[in-house]
Structure formats: C-alpha cells, structure tokens
C-alpha cells in the first residue's frame, strides 16, 4: 500500500500497550500522526510502544485510563484536549476474552465483556464525538471481531458484545455523517497476538484448515488497513464493516457452517 498521510492528525488508540494495538500505534506514527498510546496497567509496555512509534519516525505520548471507568476516560480526554485541542482519530481497540461454554458461564464473565467492549466504547466515543462534530471532521474506528459474524462455541459473551459493537458503529455513523464525522467497524479474524498465543495448538491448526489463506493475520496487515481507513484518502467511506479474516467468514457463510 502506498503511504497515506496522517500528518498533523492526533490519534488515540485504546489498549495500545501491546498486541494489535501496538502494531496500529506504530503504523499511525509511521504515517505521521501524533499517536496517544492508551493503557490501563502496564506503563512499561505502553512506553515501549511509544518508543517503537518514535523509532518508526512518529511521535506521541502515553495516557492511562481504564475504559470501563467513565471518570478515568473523561480525565484522559480532558488532558488530551487541553494539550492538543483536538482528537482527529479514535481507535477503540481495548478488548478482553473470557471464553466459557454458556452452560457454565458466570455472570461476571458476561458483564466484564459488556463493560469493556460496549460500555468502554460508549465512554470513549462520547468523550470525542461532540468535539469532532463541532470541527466538522473526525474518524472513529471500532475494532470488533470476526466472531460477531461467524459462530464460535464458548464465545457467547464475546460474540454478543462484538455484534453489539457492529450495531453501535452503524447507528452512530448515520447520526454524525452530516457533521463530517466517519465511523467504521473493523472485524479481524485470527491474528497473531497475545490473546491467540494461549490457544491450543490443535485448535490453531483447525483454524488454519478453514481459513482460505491458511495462516494467521499479522498485526502489520491490520495496521495498514486501519490507517488507510483513518486517512483522508478514505473520506467517502463510513457506516460499514471491514472484515479482515483471510477469507474464513466468506467460506463459512457460503456453506452455512
């Protein structure tokens, strides 16, 4: 992909201290955005991400906030607006898993997923959208999951929360389109990350077998797509879901499996 310019943009990426969030932060920095690396606990890892952003030729800062806690989210964005006066791009990436079969699923496992994947996105989006609408520009990118589209046993809570995020993205996109603000949903399939590192090798091989490209996605591949979606080169695109899963969803939906 040719280089897209995010120069002079201020981008906030939640859950960017590691994994796919880190890969996206590095690419945002490489493309010229001032990249704010959100983290909740691991300041050292967040600083490592920022160091990588700078090594890639960008700049940024780290910002602590638990997206489940509205007072922390508000404080983080108040600080960002005080210093930078704007947020051009918000990437709602923070996520967790609590996989359990439904018959054994604890209420806590359900509530934790909803808290991060829906409440957290609500709090962060609410913190920036009014400013974006006033500026008549801005992009909110919500990182969902292919699990919202393809059924996975043991993921009723995960799939439900990610499917809710898809509806959130589409509805918000309709509301703010006439204000010049774009909202998009990105649904990654199986990507190499901290989350997938703990999966059973047998399950991984089964996944590769039903993925037409036959491998994991790489963080750099996701980051390239997300930075393009955030750029002005993609300015006529909003309200849609971009599925990046090596073809798995298309095959499974085709055969109804």
- Sheet with 241-244, side-by-side order of all strands: 59-64, 34-39, 10-13, 89-92, 138-143, 181-188, 241-244
pLDDT digits (tens, 9 = 90+) for 147-193: 777 777 888 999 999 999 999 999 999 999 999 999 999 999 888 77
pLDDT at 256 over 90: no
pLDDT at 255 over 50: no
- pLDDT bucket at 252, cuts 50 / 70 / 90: low
pLDDT at 195: 66
Q: Domain containing 27 — which CATH number?
A: 3.40.50.720
Q: Is residue 4, in this structure, part of any structural domain at all?
A: no
- pLDDT bucket at 132, cuts 50 / 70 / 90: very high
Instruction: Provide the CA 222 distance to its chain's centre, in angstroms.
Output: 10
Active-site positions read: 158
Close Cβ partners of 237 (under 8 Å, ≥ 6 residues apart): 182, 184, 229
Collapsing DSSP to helix, strand or coil, 183 comes out as: strand
Distance CA 111, CA 234 (A): 35
pLDDT at 205 over 90: no
Q: Is residue 138, in this structure, part of any structural domain at all?
A: yes
Question: How many domains does the chain divide into?
Answer: 1
Which percentage of the chain shows pLDDT scores above 90? 75
Q: Is residue 110, in this structure, part of any structural domain at all?
A: yes
| Opening angle at CA 118, ends 17 and 167, nearest 5 | 120
pLDDT digits (tens, 9 = 90+) for 66-92: 999 999 999 999 999 999 999 999 999
Choice between 256 and 99, residue whose per-residue pLDDT is larger:
99
- pTM for the model stands at 0.91
Q: Is residue 3, in this structure, part of any structural domain at all?
A: no
Q: Is residue 229, in this structure, part of any structural domain at all?
A: yes
Collapsing DSSP to helix, strand or coil, 33 comes out as: coil
pLDDT at 196: 67
In the predicted model, what is the mean pLDDT of residues 132-142?
Answer: 98
Domain span holding position 140: 10-255
DSSP state of 57: T
Q: Is residue 197, in this structure, part of any structural domain at all?
A: yes
pLDDT digits (tens, 9 = 90+) for 94-126: 988 898 999 999 999 999 999 999 999 999 999
Mean pLDDT rounded to a whole number for the chain = 91
Q: Is residue 75, in this structure, part of any structural domain at all?
A: yes
């Amino acid at each position: 992909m040719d280089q897209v310019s995010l120069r002079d943009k201020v981008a906030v990426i939640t859950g960017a201290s590691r994994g796919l969030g880190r890969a996206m932060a590095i690419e945002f920095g490489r493309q010229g955005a001032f990249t704010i690396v959100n983290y909740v606990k691991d300041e050292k890892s967040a600083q490592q991400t920022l160091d990588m952003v700078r090594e890639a030729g960008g700049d940024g800062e780290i910002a602590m906030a638990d997206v489940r806690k509205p007072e922390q989210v508000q404080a983080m964005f108040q600080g960002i607006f005080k210093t930078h006066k704007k947020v051009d791009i918000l990437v709602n990436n923070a996520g967790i898993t609590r996989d359990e079969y439904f018959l054994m699923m604890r209420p806590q496992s359900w509530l934790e997923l909803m808290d991060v994947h829906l409440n957290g996105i609500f709090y962060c989006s609410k913190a920036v959208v009014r400013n974006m609408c006033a500026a008549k520009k801005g992009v909110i990118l919500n990182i969902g999951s292919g699990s919202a589209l393809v059924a996975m046993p043991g993921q009723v809570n995960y799939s439900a929360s990610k499917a809710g995020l898809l509806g959130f993205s589409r509805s918000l996109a309709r509301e703010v389109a006439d204000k010049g603000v774009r909202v998009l949903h990105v649904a990654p399939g199986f990507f190499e990350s901290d989350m997938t590192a703990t999966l059973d090798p047998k399950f991984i091989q089964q996944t590769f077998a039903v993925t037409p490209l036959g491998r994991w996605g790489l963080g750099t591949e996701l980051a390239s797509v997300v930075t393009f979606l955030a750029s002005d080169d993609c300015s006529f695109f909003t309200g849609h879901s971009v599925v990046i899963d090596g073809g798995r969803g298309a095959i499974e939906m085709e055969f109804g499996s």
